[in-house]
Amino acid sequence: METHFLWHDWVGLAGVGLVLIAFFMLQARQLSGQSYVYQSMNLLGALGILLSLIFGEFNLSAFLQELAWFLISGYGIARGVRERRAAKFTAP
């Protein structure tokens, strides 16, 4: 039995890898949960998984979970940007 991976399969696998590496690095205290790197890894990982679900075999529950993961990561990035800008203007 041969397995042929299409582009969306590879993108989905890369997304899973990013999310898992980000979570491991958080647990190992190599990344902060509020860091831009951590949030970006989650955002890009969720996007990869979403693409694999949209262009590959669709699963509604997995799609909803990854959509929430993507939106929450985007919120975390936007919040961090706003906080850094506010700190820059209030710093002595």
**Does a structural domain hold residue 35?**
yes
Tally of domains within the chain: 1
Interatomic CA distance for residues 18 and 91, integer angstroms: 34
Domain of 69? Answer: 9-90
**pLDDT exceeds cutoff 70 at 34:** yes
**pLDDT exceeds cutoff 80 at 47:** yes
**Does a structural domain hold residue 83?**
yes
**Does a structural domain hold residue 4?**
no
The average pLDDT across 50-69 equals 97
**Does a structural domain hold residue 19?**
yes
Confidence of residue 91 (pLDDT cuts 50, 70, 90): low
Q: Judging by beta carbons within 10 Å of its beta carbon (0-12, 13-18, 19+), is residue 45 exposed, middle or buried?
A: buried
The average pLDDT across 18-43 equals 96
**Does a structural domain hold residue 52?**
yes
pTM over 0.85: yes
Q: What is the pLDDT of residue 14?
A: 98
Rounded to 5°, angle at Cα 39 from 38 and 44: 100
**Does a structural domain hold residue 3?**
no
